[in-house]
Amino acid sequence: MRIVIQRVQHASVTINSEVKSAIEQGYLILLGVESTDTQEDADWLAKKVIGLRVFDDEDHVMNRSIQDIGGNILVISQFTLFASYKKGNRPSWFRAAPHNISIPLYEYFCKQLESLLGRPIGTGEFGADMKVELLNDGPVTICMDSKNKE
């Protein structure tokens, strides 16, 4: 699994001109699922996300977690995180998991985040044409891949 985490002041996802989810301060997470991913990958990433300390403390040092600040999370499925661009100029998506693998793992990851955070998170809609808006705070953007744990 691969994620891009953006620390945001606010973020939202709109589908068919209707806002599906909107959050205030917290994380916008783009999630890509690969065919070889498992629930173990989702568990590892969820724990890393919740423990990540990238919010400022009173000394303006990135030392607080999403839980410490009472922040929110919005997770958007993003198969293009596994784009292969080595041949030609049109990317291919052969590394991205098919729906029968990616949808259950996306849903599992979201449930794990909710459980660890202790409250609901925002989501997009798997496979929909989504319009994502955000105000990146910092900017702080971090990429994580469950295949690079060390």
Could you tell me where the DSSP H helices lie in 92-148? 99-117
Q: Which two tokens stand for residue 134?
A: 């955000």
Location of structure tokens 């030392």: 63
Q: What is the pTM for the complete model shown?
A: 0.94
Location of structure tokens 């303006």: 60
Q: What is the pLDDT of residues 118-144, one digit of tens each?
A: 999 999 998 899 999 999 999 999 999
DSSP state for residue 94 in the 8-state scheme: T
Domains of the chain: 2-145 (3.50.80.10)
Active site residues: 78-80
Identify the three-state secondary structure at position 91: coil
HSE, CB side, 13 Å, CA atoms: give it for residue 131.
6
Q: What is the pLDDT of residues 80-110, one digit of tens each?
A: 898 888 888 888 888 889 999 999 999 999 9
